[in-house]
Structures are given as C-alpha cells and as structure tokens.
C-alpha cells in the first residue's frame, strides 16, 4: 500500500446555522480544504461525502453529495455518497484513504456535513434515533418510537447506572464537560465557547441517569473536509499529516462473547501504525456524553476501565496534561453535526500535528488518534472508525 497524507483540512464553525444551507456549509469547507492543500477541484480524482440525516430531516435522499457539490467544480468527478450514522464522515474518509492507498486514485476529497432542522426538534430526534434498530424502538416505545428525546442518551444514562462495573460518579462526569468546554473556549470553530464550572454542569437540566444537558453533545450544523493524497503526489503543498492507520468495523451486534468493536478496531489500528496507546500524544474521541469519553478512553487502551475517572481528575487529559483528549472541545462543546464529526476530528489532529492550533496547541505532538462511532445495534455500536495520524 502507498502512504496517504492529509494535505488539506478545513471546517466551518459548528453551531445552529439557521440562515445557512447545507450547500453553503459544504462549499465553505471544500474551498477551505482545497486552498489549504494548494490544489484546485481539477486535481481531485474522487469524492466521498458523508451525511447521516439529510433524508430524515429534509427529504433529500439518493444523491446528497451531488446536490451539495454542484457549484464546487467537482461535478464530473466520481462522487460516492456515504451514510453510516454518526460515523458517516469518518467512513467517507476511510474510503478515500482506501482508494488512494490502493492506487485507485492519487488525490481524493472526503467531506462530512449535517444540517438539522432546529425549528422541529421532534424531527431531529426521530432522525437521530434512526441510528438504532427501529423495530427495537417500536417494541419499547410503541409504533411511533421515541420522538421527543434521544434514545441513545437514555441508553448512555442507563449504562452508567449498571451493576457497578460501569458506574461513574457525577464529579468526573462534570469535569469532563468542564474540560471540553474549556478547550472549546480556545477554538473559533466550536459550537460552545463559554467556560463552565462543575456546579453549572451539575445544576443543568437532567437528561438520563447522572447526565445533565451540559454532559451531552448538542445537535449542530456544520461541514468539514479533508484532501488526501498519495505520498508521491507532487502537486500542492508538502505539509499535512500522514494517515498511519484507518480502520472501520461494524459492531458485535448480539454476540456477547465478542469484545466490543472499539477495542478490536484500536488494536488493529495500533498494529497497522506500529504504535501503542502509550505513543499517542493527543486524541479526539466520540464524547457524545461525558460517560462516553471515559468509557472510550478505557476501550482505546489509555487506561484500565476502573482508572478512567482518574484521567480527568488528575488532569492527564486536559491541555497541558500527558495526553490531552478532545483539545478541540469534542462533541460536547465543539459540537456534533453527525455526518461532519469524524472528519472534524481528523481536521483537528492535522492542525495539531502541524502546530496550527494557537492557545489550544498540544506541545510537541507527533501522533494523534481519532475515534468515531455510529449508532447502536444490539449490544454494541453500529460502526466504529479509528484513524491514527502522525507527522
């Protein structure tokens, strides 16, 4: 396989962009990434577009990528539409990496975007809940499913209050939210940029189990884009970050004898990159809730499960700590436009490895990991994607 590099990386600000269309957001991200790569649309040989809920929100099915890209100069290039729940964007990037690594093309673009209908929250929740088996939702909630809240947040709250093995005290959960909002306060692309206190997080509206509103990711609008090129592609700039590993797996479903997919995906990624968890300098993980960040850190091998809370209590995962987690602010504060999230994580890693993150820069960063998951099926996530980037 050939070496693959992220040569261009860009994203819009995440937030509630009521007055902007999905096409507008995508055009900004694509133009930014191509400019960053010092390339033009004529240099691109394949495009992969990740989106999760445009069909459920606005009815745009079948050719979402062609619709949002029609004015970017990329028409005529092969465009592949990718839908894989929250992992749609990172799955698009995995496919772009695969195409370049195996020689199908020399330069590919991976885009992720999402545009929620903030005027109709019930529609937004129905779209998010489609990241589960709807027949199971019907069994629990009736034929209409749960239309007024996110079932995945209910599930996360329930998991934290299990038989004791997955129990997390409220204090470290609140600190995860405080940490990520502090990191986001230095990120001009973040949905939320206000510094919080532990008391504010605890006092926020209850959601499920120990979770309050500030321990849960917002549904954001936004787009992110990466330009990936073969190492020997001689156009454009020579900077960026090398994709040392790109791993996509589906979950274990109902087979409890099999480990959860993130652990297996991480092991494969470490072996491919020739690194271990101890070599990772920073990580962007799928903190759809504060519970998720602690759980994922253990699954990725950064600590034992019973030690996960110590990572945030001892400030290991804060900026300035041994291994900052979610220096962008993560899903909790940078925001969570489902289809854009996985690519936004890789944009952050690329910027960090190039030393372009200003106040939130991780010193001497040489290896970063992005973990993105999508949906929930049976006893595991629907999809898990790990990217390891190096410089």
How far is the C-alpha of 96 from the C-alpha of 45, rounded, in Å?
A: 10
pTM to 2 decimal places:
0.94
CA dihedral for 274, 347, 23, 72, sign (positive or negative) = negative
Say yes or no: domain 4-118+219-390 is CATH 3.40.47.10: yes
361-389 confidence digits (pLDDT tens): 999 999 999 999 999 888 899 999 999 99
The number of angstroms, rounded, from the C-alpha of 161 to the middle of its chain's C-alpha atoms is 25
37-47 confidence digits (pLDDT tens): 999 999 999 99
- β-partners of residue 49 are 81, 111
305-316 confidence digits (pLDDT tens): 899 999 999 999
223-272 confidence digits (pLDDT tens): 999 999 999 999 999 999 999 999 999 999 999 899 899 999 999 999 99
Question: Is the pLDDT score of 164 beyond 60?
Answer: no
How far is the C-alpha of 279 from the C-alpha of 359, rounded, in Å?
A: 23
- Quote the mean pLDDT of the chain: 92
The single-letter DSSP state of residue 5 is E
324-357 confidence digits (pLDDT tens): 999 999 999 999 999 999 999 999 999 999 999 9
- The number of residues in the chain equals 391
Q: Say which range, 118-127, 180-189, 200-209, has the weakest mean pLDDT.
A: 118-127
267-292 confidence digits (pLDDT tens): 999 999 999 999 999 999 999 999 99
Q: Which residues does 352 contact at the CB level (< 8 Å), separation at least 6?
A: 282, 327, 361, 362, 365, 368
- β-partners of residue 10 are 225
Average of per-residue pLDDT across 187-210: 95
Average of per-residue pLDDT across 95-104: 98
7-23 confidence digits (pLDDT tens): 999 999 999 999 999 99
Which tokens is 327 given? Answer: 């220096």
3-state helix/strand/coil string of 104-138: CCCEEEEEEEECCCCCCHHHHHHHHHCCECHHHHH
The single-letter DSSP state of residue 69 is H
How far is the C-alpha of 99 from the C-alpha of 330, rounded, in Å?
A: 28
- β-partners of residue 64 are none
Question: Is the pLDDT score of 161 beyond 50?
Answer: no
Question: Is the pLDDT score of 124 beyond 90?
Answer: no
Q: Is 59 helix (H, G, I), strand (E, B) or coil?
A: coil
HSE-CB for 105 with a 13 A CA cutoff: 20
Question: Is the pLDDT score of 181 beyond 90?
Answer: yes
């Amino acid at each position: 396989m050939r070496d693959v590099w992220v040569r261009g990386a860009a994203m819009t600000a995440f937030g509630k962009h009521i007055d902007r269309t999905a096409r507008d957001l995508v055009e900004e991200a694509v133009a930014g990434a191509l400019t960053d790569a010092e390339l033009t649309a004529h240099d691109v040989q394949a495009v992969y577009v990740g989106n999760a809920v445009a069909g459920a929100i606005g009815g745009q099915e079948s050719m979402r990528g062609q619709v949002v890209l029609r004015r970017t100069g990329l028409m005529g290039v092969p465009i592949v539409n990718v839908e894989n729940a929250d992992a749609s964007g990172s799955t698009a990037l995995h496919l772009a990496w695969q195409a370049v690594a195996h020689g199908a093309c020399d330069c590919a673009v991976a885009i992720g975007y999402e545009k929620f209908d903030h005027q109709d929250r019930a529609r937004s929740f129905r779209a998010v809940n489609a990241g589960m088996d709807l027949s199971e939702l019907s069994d629990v909630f009736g034929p209409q499913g749960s239309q007024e809240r996110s079932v995945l947040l209910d599930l996360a709250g329930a998991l934290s209050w299990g038989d004791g093995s997955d129990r997390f005290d409220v204090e470290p959960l609140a600190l995860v939210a405080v940490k990520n909002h502090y990191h986001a306060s230095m990120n001009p692309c973040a949905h939320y940029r206000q510094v919080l206190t532990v008391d504010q997080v605890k006092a926020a509206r209850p959601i499920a189990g120990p979770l309050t509103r500030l321990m849960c990711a917002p549904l954001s609008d936004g787009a992110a884009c990466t330009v990936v090129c073969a190492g020997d592609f001689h156009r454009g700039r020579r900077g960026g970050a090398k994709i040392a590993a790109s791993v996509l797996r589906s979950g274990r479903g109902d087979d409890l004898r099999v480990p959860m997919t993130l652990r297996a995906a991480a092991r494969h990624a470490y072996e491919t990159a020739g690194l271990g968890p101890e070599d990772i300098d920073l990580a962007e993980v799928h903190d759809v809730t504060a519970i998720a960040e602690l759980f994922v850190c253990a699954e990725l091998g950064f600590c034992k499960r019973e030690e996960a809370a110590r990572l945030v209590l001892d400030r290991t995962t804060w900026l300035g700590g041994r291994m900052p987690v979610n220096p962008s602010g993560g899903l909790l504060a940078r925001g969570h436009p489902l289809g854009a999230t996985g690519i936004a994580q890789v944009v952050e890693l690329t910027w960090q490895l190039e030393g372009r993150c200003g106040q939130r820069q991780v010193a001497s960063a040489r290896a970063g990991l992005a973990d993105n998951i999508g949906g929930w099926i049976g006893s595991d996530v629907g999809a898990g994607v790990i990217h390891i980037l190096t410089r």
